[in-house]
Amino acid sequence: MTSRSLTAVLLAGALALTACGPPTPSAAPGTLVIAGYGGSYEEAFKQSVIPGFEKTCSCKVTYIAGSSTDTVAKLKAQQDAPQIDVALIDDGVQNQAVEAGLLAELDPKTVTNLPKVIDLARLPGDVGVGFSLNATGLAYNTDYYAEHGLRPPERLADLADPKLKGKVVMPSITQTYGLGALLMAAKVGGGSEQDIGPGFTGVKKVAANAVTFDTTADVSNYFLQGQAVATVWGNSRVQTLAKKGFPIKFVYPEEGALPLIATVNVVNKAPHADLAQKFVNTLLEPSAQQAMAASNFNGPVVEGVTLGPALAEQVVGQERAADLRKLDWATINKSRSAWTDRWNKEIESS
């Protein structure tokens, strides 16, 4: 058994003691349907969270993998007769789902871990809650930079260095990291979510070095194949690639990294609303928070969660969280379509 597998087993056992309390033998078994992220997230849930929850709640869990936008599209299509109980979605898309009336308030009597959640991960009206924390910043190939005498990037503008011509993956605005680049550039230029113009000016300079405009949010192959040596990316993805032995490092830029919060939500009129509320509380248990940090390098959002020194250095810890700024998602989402049109005209077509 690998150390990761052993960890998963131990964490599943810990969850079995805390998730829902003793199972009720007379209760008819239900099936909780969760729609959430694929890849390493799905793997972590199936290994370290779901088994313990099924055992204690005398239920089955079905996991449907997909992007945040895919999940919200499903919720909209099923709005009159929901088939999904729990939705795991990024904070920006979550705001859209709230506006559409697709999500329910959390019940503090069931989600008893809510008071332990840091402010950055608490959501308006407790309609959903952040369950893991990440950051959008810079990533670069340490070997390439050293071999070519380049100074490690400290700010977004450093990716506009002419020596990086054709060596930068520029994330598209259609995904989170491209939007993050735009917001970082806006701040440096004196703008904000309400004044995005300076953001386009700054991004255009970096985009001049782009080898491609990525829409997948996973640029690993560009690094592995040597096509790119720098990008705007998320900490957990950088750490995952570094764990495989690739020479890559994450940088919290001088202008400030941006928070990327994964949220867990009870679907409005969910078929198994009570189970869904209990599952939310389970994700906020220290054992689940530790499991997600160990498997995905996602920072805990619950106060008092302890991690080993090495892992604590790799995730976005709560000291770092204090430096991340909350984004005005209501303004961003209202402007997103217009920003996308402008991006396509001024950035990707230039």
Question: What are the per-10-residue average pLDDT scores of the chain (350 residues)?
Answer: 42 47 44 90 87 92 92 96 96 94 98 96 96 96 98 98 97 91 96 96 97 90 96 95 96 95 97 97 94 92 94 92 87 95 92
184 shares a domain with 99:
no
AA identity, residue 279:
F
In a domain, 157, yes or no: yes
What is the domain range of residue 144? Answer: 135-257+326-333
Burial of 6 (0-12, 13-18, 19+ CB in 10 A): exposed
Residue 343 located in a structural domain = no
| pTM attached to this predicted model | 0.84
Let me know if residue 339 belongs to a domain: no
Q: What is the pLDDT of residue 20?
A: 55
Q: In terms of domains, do 78 and 24 share one?
A: yes
Residues 151 and 97 in one domain: no
Q: Report the SS3 class of residue 182.
A: helix
Sequence letter at residue 325: R
Whether 349 is in a domain gets the answer no
Q: Decide if 128 is inside a domain.
A: yes
Asked if 28 and 48 sit in the same domain, the reply is yes
Task: Determine the pLDDT at residue 3.
Answer: 41
Give CA–CA dist 305/321, Å, rounded. Answer: 14
Contact 261, 133 (CB under 8 A): yes
Q: CATH number of the domain that 65 lies in?
A: 3.40.190.10
149 and 113 part of one domain? no
Backbone dihedral region for residue 267 (phi beyond 0: left; psi -120 to 50: alpha; all else: beta): beta
Burial class of residue 124 (count of CB atoms within 10 Å of its CB; 0-12, 13-18, 19+): exposed
